Amino acid sequence: MLPERESAAGRPFEPSWAVSLAEGDKLDATRKIALAVGVLFILTFITSIGGVIAYGPVLSDPSYITGAGADGRVFLGAFLELMLILTNIGCAVVLFPLLKRQNEGLALSYVTARLVECTFILIGLLSLLAIVTLRQGAAGEDAGSLVLIGKSLHAIHDWTFLLGPGFTDGIGTGLILGWLMYRSGLVSPRMALFGVIGGPLLAASGIAVLLGVIPQGSALQGIATVPEIVWEAFLGLWLTFKGFSSAPITAGHARPIGVGETFPAPAKAAA
């Protein structure tokens, strides 16, 4: 039986083809992470926009609670927002193992911000479902009181939308994720600046609405959201079709144990 060859470092010799295979596995694993995150970001766009469209009747009609209603659309909107919650959390969870290599504290902050945002979204969709429940089961009740309750639940939805997607998203996906991507080099630094700058703009517009400086849904608030929209759309499309840029924090990701590692030569026994 032939003796096992050893490298100069004192460990079993790794053939070049084995190292190349391991490197290929590493790149393939990183590409899968990028693809998963990209698809999840695209799904956040689809579910969030679809939810707003489906909610149309209940959001536009102050007397929805006493009218004929379009409950099926509200249920569809609620389902889409549940999917939005899952995709939002999925983005953070899938990215966390990679981002913590850059800064674990900020990576954990991003996950936390996503959870807070999704909590606001959940409260908002429950308020609209409550309107549907009251509309279906409050026959014969005072219409004026029902309309007042409906407006109150609608107002809860508006506030949760402001504090969740309109504020927390700017801090989490905008500022924190943008900065992590900028520092790590996982995506183009120029595009990451859209998150670094756009996130605080989105959050600032949310604060301005909260303090009564500008009305909710105003043109100024819409303009302030544009950089954040560009940033998140870029992430979804770029990571889906291109993947991560070559960066130090991807080195060794999903690397098989023992491959590419260096080990000191064993010390010689004292004479």
* Residue 71 CB neighbours (<10 A): 17
Q: Is residue 145's pLDDT more than 60?
A: yes
**Which residue is listed with tokens 């908002």?**
124
Determine phi and psi for 5, rounding to 5 degrees. -75, 145
**E strand map for 49-196:** none
Q: Is residue 26's pLDDT more than 70?
A: no
Q: Please, what is the average pLDDT of the chain?
A: 85
Compute the distance between CA of residue 19 and CA of residue 103 in angstroms, rounded to an integer: 28
Q: Is residue 27's pLDDT more than 90?
A: no
Please, what's the b/e burial string for 161-175 (b: 16 or more CB within 10 A of its CB; e: otherwise)? bbbbbbbbbbbbbbb
Task: Tell me what the mean pLDDT of segment 234-240 comes to.
Answer: 95
Q: Is residue 92's pLDDT more than 60?
A: yes
CA separation, residue 102 to residues 98, 170, 174, 211 (Å)? 8, 20, 17, 35
The 10s digit of each residue's pLDDT in 195-226 is 999 999 999 999 999 999 999 989 999 999 99
In single-letter form, the type of residue at position 106 comes to L
Q: Given this model, what pLDDT does residue 139 score? A: 67
Q: Is residue 14's pLDDT more than 60?
A: no
The 10s digit of each residue's pLDDT in 107-120 is 999 999 999 999 99
CA separation, residue 220 to residues 79, 94, 208, 217, 230 (Å)? 30, 34, 10, 8, 17
Higher pLDDT, residue 18 or 78: 78
Beta bridge partners of 12: 6
Confidence of residue 10 (pLDDT cuts 50, 70, 90): low
Domain ranges of the chain: 16-246
User: With pLDDT > 70 as the criterion, what percentage of the chain qualifies?
Assistant: 82
